[in-house]
Every structure is written in structure tokens, then in C-alpha cells.
């Protein structure tokens, strides 16, 4: 990723570039809360997520660029939280909802792989794909 481009990102553009399409602030925070973070630790979540940026872009980033991204993510999330009226207004997902979301994403990914010739060998994944796409 071009450093000049990275530094031109707004909080919204950074959020959309580095998160999966359609990811919400509530979904993002729910994942971290499920992993043990406090729902108000937006700074910690943003920093942890930014640490993965080099893997997402498959290119090494300087620490100051990772910190810059963390600030953008944090700003985006805080603006959303302020807009909805505070932390108490967050509609966080339960562990079960998160697991269903994961299963749906897994089924989607393996269905696409299957359409391109991949043979699904794992019985659980086979069942997820069959239930979602071949009912």
C-alpha cells in the first residue's frame, strides 16, 4: 500500500478499506467484547485491529502508519457511538449470534471455493454449505 494513499484515508475510508464489507461498529465491538475486551476500550480495540493491517495489505507498514490507522479506526467508532447516544445504546451481538455469523461467512467462503472446483472434505463445513446453499 502506498504510504501517501494510506495517509490520505479518512476514518470512514479506512474503516471500509480494512473491514469486511458491511461490518458494523456494533459487530466489530461485539467480536472484541466476546474476546474479553470491555465495550468501552475503543482505543485498545482500534490498536489491536490496526496491528493486523500489514497482513491485510500484504505489505510491511511502519509503526507510525499502524498508529495512524488505529487513530482513524478509533475516531470512526467514537463518532458512531456519539451519534447513537453513547455506549449504552450499542446493540452488541451475543456469543451465539457471533458464532452464527462466523458459520455464515465460512459457508459463503467455501461455497465460492466449491464453485471453483474445491472439494470440501470437512463434514461440518460441508453441512454448513449444504444447509445454506442446497436446501
Q: 44-96 pLDDT, tens per residue? A: 999 999 999 999 999 999 999 999 999 999 999 999 999 999 999 999 999 99
Confidence class for position 9, pLDDT limits 50, 70, 90: very high
**pLDDT of 100-133, one tens digit each?**
999 999 999 999 999 999 999 999 999 999 999 9
Asked if 59 and 9 sit in the same domain, the reply is yes
Residue 40 has pLDDT above 80, yes or no: yes
Q: The domain containing residue 72 runs over which residues?
A: 3-89
At residue 135, the pLDDT reads 86
Residue 77's nearest CA partner among 26, 8, 18 is 26
Asked if 79 and 22 sit in the same domain, the reply is yes
**pLDDT of 17-35, one tens digit each?**
999 999 999 999 999 999 9
Asked if 35 and 66 sit in the same domain, the reply is yes
- What is the number of structural domains in the chain? 2
Asked if 113 and 56 sit in the same domain, the reply is no
Asked if 68 and 121 sit in the same domain, the reply is no
Asked if 54 and 28 sit in the same domain, the reply is yes
Residue 1 has pLDDT above 80, yes or no: no
Confidence class for position 2, pLDDT limits 50, 70, 90: confident
CA 128 to chain centroid, in Å, comes to 21
CA 80 to chain centroid, in Å, comes to 16
Interhelix angle 25-34/63-84, rounded to 10 degrees, is: 110
Interhelix angle 42-50/25-34, rounded to 10 degrees, is: 90
Residue 51: partners with Cβ closer than 8 Å, 6 or more residues away: 66
Asked if 81 and 23 sit in the same domain, the reply is yes
Amino acid at each position: 500500500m502506498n504510504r501517501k494513499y494510506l495517509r490520505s484515508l479518512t476514518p470512514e475510508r479506512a474503516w471500509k478499506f480494512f473491514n469486511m464489507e458491511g461490518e458494523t461498529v456494533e459487530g466489530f465491538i461485539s467480536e472484541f467484547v466476546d474476546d474479553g475486551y470491555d465495550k468501552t476500550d475503543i482505543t485498545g480495540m482500534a490498536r489491536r485491529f490496526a496491528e493486523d493491517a500489514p497482513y491485510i495489505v500484504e505489505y510491511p507498514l511502519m509503526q507510525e502508519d499502524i498508529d495512524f490507522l488505529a487513530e482513524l479506526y478509533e475516531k470512526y467508532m467514537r463518532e458512531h457511538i456519539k451519534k447513537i447516544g453513547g455506549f449504552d445504546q450499542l446493540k452488541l451481538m451475543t456469543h451465539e449470534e457471533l458464532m452464527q455469523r462466523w458459520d455464515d461467512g465460512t459457508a459463503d467462503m467455501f461455497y465460492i471455493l466449491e464453485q471453483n472446483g474445491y472439494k470440501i472434505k470437512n463434514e461440518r463445513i460441508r453441512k454448513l454449505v449444504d444447509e445454506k446453499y442446497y436446501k
